[in-house]
Structure 1
Amino acid sequence: MIRIGMGVLAAGVLAAGSAAAQPVSGLYVGAGVGGNYREATLGENPRNRFNWGWGWAAVGSLGWGFGNGFRVEGEVSYRDNQATGALRDGVRPFVVGGTVRQLGLMANAFYDLSLGDPLGTGVSITPYVGAGVGAGWIQGRNVRATFPNGGLFAVDNSSGWNFAYQAIGGVAFGLGQFVPGLSLTTEYRYYATLDTEYKGANRNTGATAPTRVAGEVTNANHSVLVGLRYAFNTPTPAPAPAPAAAPAPARTFLVFFDWDRADLTDRARQIIAEAANNARTVGSTRIEVSGHADRTGSAAYNQRLSVRRAEAVAAELVRRGIQRNQITVQGFGFDRPLVPTAMGVREPQNRRVEIVLR
Structure 2
Amino acid sequence: MNLLKNTQYLVMGIIGVGAVAPASTFADTLGPYASLMGGLNWVSAQDLNQNNLDFVEMEFNQPLHSGYATGLALGWRFPVGLRPEVELGYRENTLTQFNNRVYEGGGSIDGEGEEKAASLMVNLWYDVLNLPAPFNRFTPYLGGGLGYATLTVSGLEAGGVEFGGTHRDTVSAYQLGAGVGYELNENWSMSLDYRCLKTREAHFGDIERLPQGDVSTEYEAQSVMLGLRYWL
User: Normalization by structure 2: what TM-score?
Assistant: 0.77
Runs of 4+ in 1 over 2 A off after TM superposition: 21-24, 43-47, 114-120, 210-215
**Do the aligned residues in 1 keep the contact of 2:38 with 2:69 (CA within 8 Å)?**
yes
In 1, Cα distance between the equivalents of 2:79 and 2:38?
A: 27
Indicate whether 1:34 and 2:11 are aligned.
no
1:164 to 159, 173, 183: 173
Q: How does 1:17-28 map to 2 (within 5 A)?
A: 22-28=27-33
Deviations 1:75-106 (A, max 9, x none): 1000010001112123212x410111110011
Indicate whether 1:48 and 2:68 are aligned.
no
Q: 1:32–1:47: structure 2 CA closer, same or farther, 3 Å change rule?
A: same
Q: How does 1:1-358 map to 2 (within 5 A)?
A: 22-42=27-47, 43=49, 44-46=52-54, 48-53=56-61, 54=63, 55-87=67-99, 88-89=101-102, 90-93=106-109, 95-114=110-129, 116=131, 118-119=133-134, 124-146=137-159, 152=161, 154-176=163-185, 180-198=186-204, 199-202=206-209, 211-232=211-232
Letter in 1 for 2:107: V
Q: CA RMSD in A?
A: 2.2
**Do the aligned residues in 1 keep the contact of 2:92 with 2:116 (CA within 8 Å)?**
yes
Judging by fraction of residues, say which structure has more strand. Answer: 2
In 1, Cα distance between the equivalents of 2:164 and 2:182?
A: 43
Deviations 1:131-190 (A, max 9, x none): 11111011111122228xxxx4725411121101100100001111xxx22111001100
Higher RCO (CA-CA < 8 Å; seq separation 6+)? 2
Aligned length: 195
**Do the aligned residues in 2 keep the contact of 1:23 with 1:65 (CA within 8 Å)?**
no
**Do the aligned residues in 1 keep the contact of 2:194 with 2:222 (CA within 8 Å)?**
yes
In 2, Cα distance between the equivalents of 1:66 and 1:84?
A: 45
User: Normalization by structure 1: what TM-score?
Assistant: 0.51
Structure 1 segments unaligned to the other structure (5+ residues): 1-20, 203-209, 233-358
In 1, Cα distance between the equivalents of 2:208 and 2:214?
A: 8
Larger radius of gyration: 1
Task: Tell me the percent identity.
Answer: 26
In 2, Cα distance between the equivalents of 1:181 and 1:117?
A: 21
In 1, Cα distance between the equivalents of 2:213 and 2:175?
A: 30
Letter in 2 for 1:182: W
1:45 deviates by 3.7
Deviations 1:275-306 (A, max 9, x none): xxxxxxxxxxxxxxxxxxxxxxxxxxxxxxxx
**Do the aligned residues in 2 keep the contact of 1:27 with 1:65 (CA within 8 Å)?**
yes
**Do the aligned residues in 2 keep the contact of 1:201 with 1:213 (CA within 8 Å)?**
no
| Partner SS for 1:68 | coil
In 1, Cα distance between the equivalents of 2:29 and 2:144?
A: 17
In 2, Cα distance between the equivalents of 1:230 and 1:157?
A: 37
In 2, Cα distance between the equivalents of 1:115 and 1:86?
A: 49
1:114 deviates by 3.0
- Structure 1, 137-146 or 75-84: larger mean CA deviation: 137-146
Structure 2 segments unaligned to the other structure (5+ residues): 1-25
Q: 1:155–1:167: structure 2 CA closer, same or farther, 3 Å change rule?
A: farther
In 2, Cα distance between the equivalents of 1:82 and 1:213?
A: 25
1:227 deviates by 0.8
**Do the aligned residues in 2 keep the contact of 1:117 with 1:125 (CA within 8 Å)?**
no
In 1, Cα distance between the equivalents of 2:29 and 2:127?
A: 8
1:211 deviates by 3.6
Letter in 2 for 1:36: N
Letter in 2 for 1:225: M
**Do the aligned residues in 2 keep the contact of 1:140 with 1:155 (CA within 8 Å)?**
no
Deviations 1:279-336 (A, max 9, x none): xxxxxxxxxxxxxxxxxxxxxxxxxxxxxxxxxxxxxxxxxxxxxxxxxxxxxxxxxx
Q: 1:49–1:217: structure 2 CA closer, same or farther, 3 Å change rule?
A: same
